[in-house]
Amino acid sequence: MPHARPPRLPVTLLCASLLLGLNGCAVFRVFNPEVVHRGSIVDKDALAELIPGTSSRADAVSLLGSPTAKATFDDNTWIYIAQVTSTRIGRTPGVASQHVVVLTFDQGGTLRDIRQLDKSDSKPIGMAAGETPSPGSEASFMQQLLGNVGKFTPAGLPGGGGAGGGFGAAPGGSGNSVP
């Protein structure tokens, strides 16, 4: 008697249905990451039209639009920031590319310098350990325990009902009362 082979069709259908089911899961978007463009994407042709020494602030605004930011203590330094992020494994965001254009103007509003920076020019910044204290936000155990005493009165009890009337509101009133 020849050895009978189990049918492969049910196994194939099971595998196909599992793969289709996993295709819709957000966790498994490894092969189709979500790409997000952020900031002011500067057109290279428009940037090439700006000429240091002759172009003005008005020219920069008409060609590139308003800057993403201005330098903190210098209104003559305009910064255009663009970033492309994509999701990585586990839906964590990652910077795919980064482009920064820095325009420097003189006091008269004439463009003096154009600098272009990318991700390779960035510097890693470490997070500071510890916490920033905020006075008045820490409550003791007793304050937490007794903090809401008297603030909540269930609807239907004397003095209860709250703003919505709740159960026990007068007939014709609002809330869940039944006339």
pLDDT at 110 over 80: yes
Structural domain total, the chain: 1
Asked if 171 and 177 touch (Cβ cutoff 8 Å), the reply is: yes
List helix spans (H) across the chain. Answer: 9-23, 44-48, 57-64, 141-146
Give the residue numbers spanning the domain of 47: 29-119
Is residue 86 one of the residues assigned to a domain?
A: yes
- Burial label, 54 (beta-carbon count in 10 A; 0-12, 13-18, 19+): exposed
Predicted confidence band of residue 1 (pLDDT cuts 50, 70, 90): low
Is residue 110 one of the residues assigned to a domain?
A: yes
Is residue 42 one of the residues assigned to a domain?
A: yes
Cα first-last separation, the chain: 82
- C-alpha span between 121 and 118 (Å, rounded): 6
Is residue 85 one of the residues assigned to a domain?
A: yes
User: Which pLDDT score, from 0 to 100, does residue 166 have?
Assistant: 46
Is residue 147 one of the residues assigned to a domain?
A: no
Structure-model confidence comparison of residues 133 and 37, the more confident one: 37
pLDDT at 133 over 90: no
Average pLDDT in the 23-47 region? Answer: 73
Q: CB within 8 A of 54, min separation 6: which ones?
A: 110, 111
Q: Could you read off the pLDDT of 65-76 as tens digits, one per residue?
A: 999 999 989 899
Average pLDDT in the 39-63 region? Answer: 92
List the structure tokens of 175: 């809330």
Is residue 173 one of the residues assigned to a domain?
A: no
Is residue 171 one of the residues assigned to a domain?
A: no
Q: In Å, how far from its chain's centre is CA 141?
A: 35
Nearest residue to 50 (alpha-carbon basis) of 41, 59, 58, 42: 59
User: Which pLDDT score, from 0 to 100, does residue 31 have?
Assistant: 58
Is residue 3 one of the residues assigned to a domain?
A: no
SS3 content of the chain, % helix, strand, coil (to 5): 25, 25, 50
User: Which pLDDT score, from 0 to 100, does residue 39 have?
Assistant: 85
